[in-house]
Copies of this chain bind each other. A is one copy, B any other.
Amino acid sequence: MSTHATLLRSHGLSVTPQRLALLQTLSQYPHITADQATEAVRKSLGTISRQSVYNTLNALVEKGLARRIQPIDSPALFEDRVGDNHHHLICRSCGDVADVDCAVGFRPCLEASDDNGFIIDEADVTYWGECPKCQPKISNVHTTTKTKTKTRKAIS
């Protein structure tokens, strides 16, 4: 039996083709929008409703089987890499997202300098900058026009 099925059952979620296909999809892309996931699932199942995509992704996040990140100027991104408290690098020009291991250790950044009495359970770290591809070359530093339009990779 599929390991994904077991995973779902062990978290009290019933097993449906839609959920299996979404888990499958999540395992194939490091970070993916709900729309991209829909597109990908439709390639395998033929069809899935938008609502089911959101239902499932939200359920997975709730159960800790997936994580949602919300970069500025982008729809939410989902990933199945959870539990390692890793961080993200986002390119301001093209929107590319890269994973970064946590600098501090295993459960790291959960120490704020002053927690204001909050009980902290997660630290969400995003580094902003420019990816290698988008960096101006030596020859045209200061003259390169920054691309405003983020090109979003299509799922193929």
Contacts and interface: CB of A to CB of B under 8 A. Distances in A.
Chain A interface extent, by class: 35 or more
Nearest to A73: B70
A112 interface: yes
- Number of this chain's copies in the assembly equals 2
A110 interface: yes
Contacts of A76: 72
A129 B91 CA distance: 27
A113 interface: yes
Given A89-B112, A103-B112, A124 B123 contact: no
Interface of A: 68, 70-72, 76, 87, 89, 91, 98, 100-103, 109-132, 135
